[in-house]
A = this chain, B = another copy of it.
Amino acid sequence: MIETPSLVDQYCHGVLRTELGLGTFEARLARTEGPPAPGTTLFDTQTGFAVRRWCPPLLGLEPHCPPARYLARRRELGVREAGRRLLRGSGITTYLVDTGLSGDLTGPVEMAGAGDADAHEIVRLEPLAEQVADTSGTVESFLANLAESVHGAASHAVAFSSVAGSRHGLALAPEPPGPGEVRGAASRWLTDRRAGGELTDPVLLRHLLWSAVASGVPLQLHAGLGEPGRRVDRADPVLLTDFVRATAGLGTDLVLLHGYPYHRQAAHLAGVFPHVYADAGAVLLRTGAGAATVLAEILELAPFGKILFSSGAHGLPELHVVGARLFREALGRVLGTWVADGAWSLTDAQRVAGMIAAGNARRVYGLDRAAG
Contacts and interface: CB of A to CB of B under 8 A. Distances in A.
Nearest to A36: B274
Given A238-B233, A272-B228, A290 B286 contact: no
B41 A305 contact: yes
Interface residues of A, number: 74
Interface string A24-53: 000000111111111111101110011011
A116 interface: no
B231 A242 contact: yes
Copies of this chain, whole number? 3
B34 A249 contact: yes
A278 to B, nearest CB: 12
A303 interface: yes
Interface stretch (A6-14, A75-83, A98-106, A341-349): A341-349
A45 B271 contact: yes
A360 to B, nearest CB: 8
Given A32-B271, A46-B300, A265-B233, A40 B306 contact: yes
A236 interface: yes
Contacts of A341: 289
A193 interface: no
A225 interface: yes
B232 A238 contact: yes
A15 B231 CA distance: 38
B231 A33 contact: no
Given A34-B249, A287-B301, 15 more contacts: A31-B272, A33-B272, A33-B274, A42-B303, A44-B355, A46-B301, A49-B348, A64-B347, A228-B272, A231-B238, A232-B268, A290-B300, A293-B293, A293-B300, A294-B300
21 contacts: A32-B271, A32-B273, A33-B273, A34-B275, A37-B274, A37-B306, A44-B352, A44-B355, A45-B304, A46-B301, A49-B344, A63-B345, A64-B347, A64-B348, A225-B268, A228-B272, A230-B241, A261-B264, A261-B265, A289-B344, A293-B300
